[in-house]
Each structure stands twice: as structure tokens, then as C-alpha cells.
Amino acid sequence: MRSSLSQTSAHQPSSNAPLIDRYKRLATWLLFIFVLIACSIRTEVTPYQLVVGLPQMGSLLQEMFPPDWSYLPTIWGPMLETIQIAIMGTTIGGLLAIPVALLCAYNLTPNRWISIPMRMILNLVRTIPDLLFAAVFVAIFGIGPFAGMLALVFFSFGIIAKLTFEAIEAIDPGPLEAMTAVGANRIQLIIFGVMPQALPYFVSYFLYTFEVNVRAASVLGLVGAGGIGLLLDRALGLFRYDRASIIILLTLAIVLMIDYGSAVIRRKLL
């Protein structure tokens, strides 16, 4: 399909473009296709396998229905634990994010020797996915919700701090200048100048991260970090796909409910 597109475009007025541009475009496409072929050779993923593999997926989905509704009371407790993990992880991460966000913002911390290293630490924290954090913390603190909570603390810290310091940098500088002019100190500046402007954004980002964390917490159990994922792992290991499907359905329902609730609150805030 791609080659036919480039052929037709050769007959269009755009063929007046310099020859070198066309060669460049052709080279880019060739490179792209070459990379794709190399990738599919490396992983032995071919379109043929794709076609063969999808029916197997269908039969798996067939096994998942009907869901085992009698399993619902058993998974209710771990589901609540999942939400607890998400609440605690988001809260602690969010509280830790506040001072770091203040230190990262150029308009509050003009000293680049502080703000730039802080930003680098934030970028470093954000490169590591939550499940990797969870896997490491499970190894340190043992299997259980505490490891999951810590993983989410680091994860939410990275997101909230980044979003919040960008919000702080975008605030109106007028009140800050006025307060500096009448001799407010740094703490007063933050409480009366920055907080009123940045707090709605902070709460909104906090809730958004909470949504992400509920989804993340539901799979943390796969590496042993507590929550509903532990039961999902067990159900899949025992080939009880009917149980797995009820777990997935309940998780989806809870996630959608929390998404909806937090979206309503966020719309009120901003």
C-alpha cells in the first residue's frame, strides 16, 4: 500500500519538489521497512503467526465465559486492598512531591544548582515503570501490600512532582511580585502567593494519578505486591479462566467507577 501511495504521488504536482527530497523519503521508508523486517526476524513474529495466533485467543475467551460469579465474595477483600494500596501510595507520593515540585520550579527556585539536579532525579524516577519498582520492593520487603504501596509512592511521586512544578511555573507572577515588593518571606510567598493558584492543579493531578494507580495496583499482585493481582495470578495458574474473568470484570467495574468519580471532582475543581 505504501509503495502505491508514493507512486501516485509521483504524478502529482508535488513531483516538482527537489529530487533529493524524494530520495530522502524513499530512503526513510526503506530504512523503516528494513527495521521492521529485522525486528520480526529477531522476535520470530510474522504476519502468518499473527493470523494463526488470533483463533487461539478466541478459544481462550470462550473458556472465560460464563464467569464464576460464586467467586465474587472471595475477591471482594483483595479488591478493597487494591484500593487501599492505591490511596496510600498516591497520598504519600503526592505529599513527597510538594517540596520537590517547589524546588524544581524556576520561578520559585532561581538557583539552577538546586532545580536542575532535582529535575534530573525526577526524570530518573519516571523512567522506571511501577511494576519494576514493585518487583524490587517485593524482593526487599517481602510479599504483601506494603511493597506495592512503596512502588506506587515512587511512581506517583514522579508524575505528580513533574506535573505540579509545570503548573507552578505557569502561575501568574503578579501576586508574587506584589508580595515580594511588600517584603514577604519565602514561606509567606508560597502559602499566600503560590498555593491559591497551584492547589487546584495539584489536587487535579493527584486525582488523575490516583486513577492511574488503581489500574496499576490491580496488576501489582502479579509480581507479589498485594491486591487483586495475586488472585488473578493464582486463577490463571490453575487454568480457572472463569475465575480470572470475574476478577477482570470486577476490576474493570471498580476502575470505571473510580475514573468517573474522580473525573467529576476534577471537572468541579478546574
Q: Does the protein bind other proteins through residue 31 (CB under 8 A)?
A: no
Q: Does the protein bind other proteins through residue 146 (CB under 8 A)?
A: yes
In the set 102, 149, 198, 246, which binds other proteins (CB under 8 A)?
149
With contact defined as beta carbons under 8 Å apart, do 160 and 206 qualify? yes
Q: Is the peptide bond before 66 cis (omega within 30 degrees of 0)?
A: yes
Residue type, position 10, single letter: A
What gap in Å lies between CA 103 and CA 110, rounded to an integer?
9
| Three cell numbers, residue 270 | 478546574
Q: Does the protein bind other proteins through residue 22 (CB under 8 A)?
A: no
Calculate helix-pair angle for 72-104, 112-127, nearest 10 degrees: 160
With contact defined as beta carbons under 8 Å apart, do 267 and 207 qualify? no
Site for other proteins in 173-232 (CB under 8 A): 215-216, 218-219, 222-223, 232
Q: Does the protein bind other proteins through residue 152 (CB under 8 A)?
A: no
What is the DSSP code (8-state) at residue 223? Answer: G
Instruction: State in angstroms the smallest separation of the CB of 174 from other proteins.
Output: 26
Only segment of 126-134, 170-178, 184-192, 194-202 that touches other proteins (CB under 8 A): 126-134
- Rounded to whole angstroms, what are the CA distances from 215 to 24, 114, 164? 43, 34, 21
| Three cell numbers, residue 127 | 523512567
Long-range contacts of 231-235 (CB under 8 A, 24+ apart): 231/74, 231/75, 231/78
Q: Does the protein bind other proteins through residue 269 (CB under 8 A)?
A: no
In the set 75, 88, 122, 231, which binds other proteins (CB under 8 A)?
88
Residues present in the chain in total? 270
Site for other proteins in 237-266 (CB under 8 A): 241, 248, 252, 255-256
Q: Does the protein bind other proteins through residue 121 (CB under 8 A)?
A: no
Only segment of 75-83, 156-164, 178-186, 194-202 that touches other proteins (CB under 8 A): 75-83
Residues that bind other proteins (CB under 8 A): 35-36, 39-40, 42-45, 49-50, 53, 56-57, 59-60, 80-81, 83-85, 87-88, 91, 123-124, 127-129, 131-132, 135-136, 138-142, 144-146, 149, 215-216, 218-219, 222-223, 232, 236, 241, 248, 252, 255-256
